[in-house]
Structure formats: C-alpha cells, structure tokens
C-alpha cells in the first residue's frame, strides 16, 4: 500500500498547489468603442488582455424610475468622460451633474456584462455633488451569472430580485472602493447609486477584476500522473490476486 499511498499523496499535493488567476484593471474613462451614438440604449465595449487571457466588457446605462408606481427600468445614455462612465436618464439634460450615476429623482445604474465570470474586487469612483448634503458616493453593487439586460419599461422589482446585492460605502472624496472578497464570480454586474439614503452621484472610472484560478499545466500533469498511477497499481494487484 506504500506505493498507492504515495501516489494519492502526490495527487493531493498537486491539487493543493498554487493556481494562476488573472487580474484585470479596466480604465473606463478612455478607450473602448461606442455603438448607438449619443442616444439612450448605447453600448460601450472594452477589451483587456493579461497574458494569454482576454476579457471583454459590454457596458450600458439604465435607470430605475423610482418616481413611478410601480418602479420601472428605463434605457439611458452611457457617457464616457474624464471622470469615467456616467448615466443620463430620460428627462435629464446632463446639467447640474445629472450625467452621473446618481439617485436623485431616479436611480441610475451601469450594467456590466463580461465575456466570462469575474470577481469585481474594487472600483474607482469619481465623486460629484448632486444635491443637498454635499458630494457622496454610496453605491449598491449587484451580481448574477447569466443575467440578461433589463426590459425597457419593465418592473424594477422583478429585475433586481434575481441578483445578490453588496452595499459599498462611499465618501465625499474620489477614490477606490472595495467591493468583492476575491471569491465571488459572475458574468453580470450592476453598479448602482445607493438604494436609498442620501443623495449620491459618481462616475465609474475604473474597475479591478479577478478571474477564477486555473491550475497550472504542471499541476494538471501531476494530478493525472498520480491518479493514473493509483489505477494502474490497483489493477496490477487485482490481477495478481486472481492468479493466486
């Protein structure tokens, strides 16, 4: 049994060996392509490559019309500015910092759709004064695998209910906000102004993302060798036992 135990141990060690995971930092204030021009419903696409891994993001703007009863989701315009991505909701002209992700009158959010599941570990928010109380950037982040875009004039409550939410405390100064813990992966994320509370307004300047860890090729080889050896040893012992 020493040989078998050794091979099993090799497999266990291989399984526990460090795995590789790519870390992407996407600057959303520059680059990217825009489809839809300056009209509501436009989509901005970004691509980033780390090593042999390429990640694509499609971003669009939406608004939760909390002034309606019941609330409804509305297509909005996603603008790209020096401070990052901002949302101009239907009925807004962008003045008085209403071209930000804000929750004054109507609650804006940016839909981030990735080519693979990622963990949104942090984001840089550029803060803007959007109303009474001074500038603030409290946010609510939502995530779900395989989620689709909202339906224009669809029920907000039905759409948001399918997601898991994370409250992200903000502040009066622009800066990085920690979101995930490094082990929450989904291909669909929403970055929204805070659900309730004080007036919040910000632009989404950059995001830091992690992809799931994948065992190194050498680790896979060791695991296959280890478990294959276990099988071969057990078959050989069975033949000896039958012959006896």
Residues 44-88 have pLDDT tens digits of 999 999 999 999 999 999 999 999 999 999 999 999 999 999 999
User: Cα 55 to the chain's mean position, in Å?
Assistant: 11
Together in a domain, 241 and 152: no
Using a pLDDT cut of 70, give the percent of the chain over it: 78
Together in a domain, 225 and 119: no
Is residue 97 within 8 A of residue 129, CB to CB? The reply is yes
Report pLDDT for 2: 55
The pTM (predicted TM-score) of the whole model is 0.81
**Residues with Cβ within 8 Å of residue 166, at least 6 apart in sequence:** 140, 141, 142, 143, 179, 180
- Banded pLDDT at 105 (limits 50, 70, 90): confident
Together in a domain, 243 and 163: no
Judged by average pLDDT, the poorest of 100-104, 184-188, 216-220 is 216-220
- Which range marks the domain in which residue 28 is found? 22-212
168 by DSSP, 3-state: which?
Answer: strand
Report pLDDT for 6: 46
* 26 vs 216, residue with greater confidence: 26
Residue whose tokens read 């759409």:
159
Token pair, residue 244, equals: 């006896």
Together in a domain, 28 and 13: no
Together in a domain, 105 and 10: no
- Banded pLDDT at 13 (limits 50, 70, 90): very low
Together in a domain, 137 and 201: yes
> Residue 204: is it exposed, middle or buried by C-beta count within 10 angstroms (0-12/13-18/19+)?
buried
Residue 117 is part of a domain; what is its CATH number? 2.60.120
What's the structural domain count of the chain? 2
**Residues with Cβ within 8 Å of residue 179, at least 6 apart in sequence:** 120, 121, 122, 123, 141, 166, 168
Together in a domain, 200 and 221: no
Give the pLDDT mean for 99-105: 93
Say yes or no to pLDDT of 227 above 60: no
- Banded pLDDT at 181 (limits 50, 70, 90): confident
**Residues with Cβ within 8 Å of residue 10, at least 6 apart in sequence:** 222, 225, 226, 229
Together in a domain, 234 and 128: no
Together in a domain, 47 and 153: yes
Report pLDDT for 219: 43
Give the pLDDT mean for 101-120: 96
Together in a domain, 171 and 221: no
Q: How far apart are CA 102 and CA 193, in angstroms?
A: 5
Together in a domain, 94 and 136: yes
Together in a domain, 84 and 53: yes
């Amino acid at each position: 049994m020493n040989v078998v135990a050794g091979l099993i141990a090799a497999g266990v060690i291989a399984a526990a060996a460090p795995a590789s995971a790519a870390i992407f930092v996407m600057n959303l204030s520059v680059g990217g392509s825009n489809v839809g021009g300056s009209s509501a419903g436009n989509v901005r696409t970004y691509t980033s490559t780390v090593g042999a891994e390429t990640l694509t993001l499609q971003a669009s703007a939406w608004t939760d019309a909390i002034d309606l009863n019941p609330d409804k989701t509305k297509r909005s315009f996603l603008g790209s500015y020096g401070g990052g991505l901002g949302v101009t909701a239907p009925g807004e002209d962008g003045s008085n910092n209403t071209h930000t992700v804000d929750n004054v009158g109507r609650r804006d959010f940016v839909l981030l759709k990735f080519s693979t599941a990622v963990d949104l570990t942090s984001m840089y928010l550029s803060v803007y004064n959007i109303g009474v109380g001074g500038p603030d950037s409290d946010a609510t982040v939502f995530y779900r695998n395989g989620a689709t875009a909202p339906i224009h004039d669809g029920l907000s409550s039905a759409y948001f209910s399918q997601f898991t939410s994370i409250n992200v405390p903000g502040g009066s100064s622009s800066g990085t906000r920690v979101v995930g813990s490094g082990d929450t992966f989904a291909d669909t994320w929403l970055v929204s102004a805070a659900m309730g509370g004080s007036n919040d307004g910000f632009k989404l300047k950059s995001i830091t993302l992690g992809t799931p860890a994948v065992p190194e090729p050498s680790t896979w080889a060791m695991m296959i060798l280890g478990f294959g050896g276990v099988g071969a040893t057990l078959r050989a012992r069975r033949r000896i036992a039958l012959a006896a």
